[in-house]
Amino acid sequence: MFTHVDYAMVNVSDMTRAVKFYRDKLGLPLKFETPGWTEFQTGTTVLALHGGGVAREQNAEPGTHIAGTCSIGFNVDDIEQTFTDLKAKGVTFIMPPTRREEDAITLAVALDPDGLPISFAQLHQQAAQA
């Protein structure tokens, strides 16, 4: 049947702005770009941007989990360096690096230009060895 996620699709309200964010700020390698569909290669999974999305009303508190939405997550080797580098590029964070003992990670959460949460996690040493 199927064994892995081939691509994840994010609906965006402004393709040019979204490409600049994912390519220039996050540093994801661009696979190809069109006005309605853009792909970034992220290992074995493609991150696709689909144009024509309607901007979401910003009536929820930042960090609120809204039903019917998703977020993107990346594992990183050095969360503090990732946080510092992305902040310097103008990436907005709604949660700075925060140690989460219950999950054995340190987690930081940023927002893309349309408000999609993007998580960056560093495994704690004991979890990485397990």
Could you tell me the residue range of the domain that residue 21 belongs to?
1-53
pLDDT, tens digit only, all 130 positions of the chain: 667 778 899 999 899 999 999 999 999 999 999 999 999 989 888 999 998 888 766 665 666 666 667 789 999 999 999 999 999 999 999 999 999 988 899 999 999 999 889 999 999 876 555 5
Q: Are 48 and 76 contained in the same domain?
A: no
SS3 126: helix
What's residue 5's pLDDT? Answer: 75
What CATH code is carried by the domain that includes residue 48?
Answer: 3.10.180.10
Looking at the fold, whether 45 and 77 belong to one and the same domain comes out as no
The answer on 92 and 130 residing in a single domain is yes
pLDDT at residue 1 in the model: 66
The number of domains in the chain is: 2
Phi, psi of 85 (to 5 degrees): -65, -45
Same domain, 84 and 126: yes
Q: How far is CA 59 from CA 17, 25, 56, 100, in A?
A: 22, 26, 9, 27
Q: Which residue has the tokens 């990436």?
A: 91
Q: Is the distance from CB of 93 to CB of 112 less than 8 angstroms?
A: no
Cut 0.85: pTM above it: no
Measured CA to CA, the distance from residue 124 to residue 105 in angstroms comes to 5
Q: Which pLDDT belongs to residue 79?
A: 96
Task: Please check whether residues 40 and 80 belong to one and the same domain.
Answer: no
pLDDT of residue 118: 93
The pLDDT, as a whole number, for residue 70 is 79
Verify that 47 and 80 share a domain, yes or no: no
111: nearest Cα among 92, 83, 89: 92
Question: Are 110 and 80 contained in the same domain?
Answer: yes
Residue 11 counted as domain residue: yes
- Give domain status of residue 61, yes or no: no
Q: Is residue 28 part of a domain?
A: yes
C-beta of residue 109 within 8 angstroms of C-beta of residue 73: no
Are 39 and 78 in the same domain?
Answer: no
